Amino acid sequence: MTALTHLSDDEVAFRDTVRKFARREIAPLVREMDEHAKLNPALLKQLFAQGLMGIEVPEQYGGQGGTFFDSILAIEELAAVDPAVSVCVDVQNTLVNNAVARWGTEAQKQTHLRRLATDTLGSYALSEAGAGSDAFALAATATQDNDIYVLNGQKLWITNAAEAGLFLVFATVDATLGYKGITCFLVDRDTPGLKVGKKEDKLGIRASSTCEVVLDQVRVPATAVLGEIGKGYKVAIETLNEGRIGIGAQMMGLARGANDHAIAYAKQRKQFGKTIGEFQGVQFTLAESAVEVESARLLVYNAARLRDAGKDFVAEAAMAKYYASIIAENVASRSIEVFGGVGFTKEYPVEKLYRDAKIGRIYEGTSNMQRVVIAKHLLR
């Protein structure tokens, strides 16, 4: 497997711009947003103003006209400071925007892509109580009434739901057809019958909203169908394959941020008359973490490059997501140990990064699901 990870001058400049923005504008808000479990509204506006919510959206629709790889660079840099903000940007770019750009009609792109790139947060409403890893075991229904579809059901664990103005809702038009009945609908937040319900009180990435979305006789026109009737499974599969690379970038960025904090602390904390970074045991800890972060970066960058090159990337995306989520936990845990007792308190950032890391092995495909994908590609 060739690792295509070299950055162009433009990519370096973009990465550095996002890094400076994250450290200057996001870092001071991290603790407060985590404690209140809420994304700062002013920060969300800044993310749009910086062009970070429409990175790959073509300029003709108000976006930046960048690449998927650019999105991955942004997700990594934001995650090094706050993984909660990072996943908000991740879902917008790798799932919502990509789905509308790929399957939307010209009218849908003119309307929705422009909104998504400039001022409207999107949400990807797929999961249900009985449809987690078995993503297509949907109970939500879409019943046709002339040129109207009536949506009913309950979506759970929906990222960005509290702030979203547009929902990509997956429902089945005919349960007897199985996954071939699943259809994706573009639904505005203010559509009668759509209600954002309970917000989950989570272990980590607390500033990223995760909510129940209730659909009660939600009536949308046939023009709200994204793609084709019965092809919602294709929309979901292809966008989630890309989304895995985004989660890999989030977890790799988190790990890099945690190790950076540990390195900085090891340089200034003194014990027995010298900095703890002078002790071989601490050096080995930092070195092991650095190797894991770099390994994850190679996997993530390679998968993103393959996607941009139009090559098969499904197995590589699963590998990146699987490995990065594992090392995120490992590196964040070691970083707390470098800090010692203070690392276990909320006064220092590594405690939060440790909590944030756990979700990486669960959402957008559990580690076991990634193993299944990888094994199928090995054995086919």
**Known catalytic residue at 364:** yes
Take residue 13 and report the two structure tokens written for it. 């400049």
Which of 343 and 4 is assigned the larger pLDDT? Answer: 343
Residue 5, pLDDT score: 62
Q: What percent of the chain has pLDDT over 70?
A: 99
Give the DSSP per-residue string, 221-285.
EGGGEES-TT-HHHHHHHHHHHHHHHHHHHHHHHHHHHHHHHHHHHHH-EETTEEGGGSHHHHHH
Distances (CA, A) of 138 to 122, 128, 178, 214, 254: 21, 7, 9, 14, 32
Residue 135: pLDDT band with limits 50, 70, 90: confident
Residue 3, pLDDT score: 43
Give 285-328 pLDDT, tens digit per residue. 999 999 999 999 999 999 999 999 999 999 999 999 999 999 99
Q: Does residue 85 register a pLDDT over 50?
A: yes
Of the candidates 56, 163, 292, 364, the residue annotated as catalytic is 364
Report yes or no: 151 and 218 within 8 Å, Cβ to Cβ: yes
Question: What domains sit in the chain, N to C, each tagged with a CATH number?
Answer: 9-121 (1.10.540.10), 123-230 (2.40.110.10), 233-379 (1.20.140.10)
Residue 132: pLDDT band with limits 50, 70, 90: confident
Q: Does residue 2 register a pLDDT over 70?
A: no
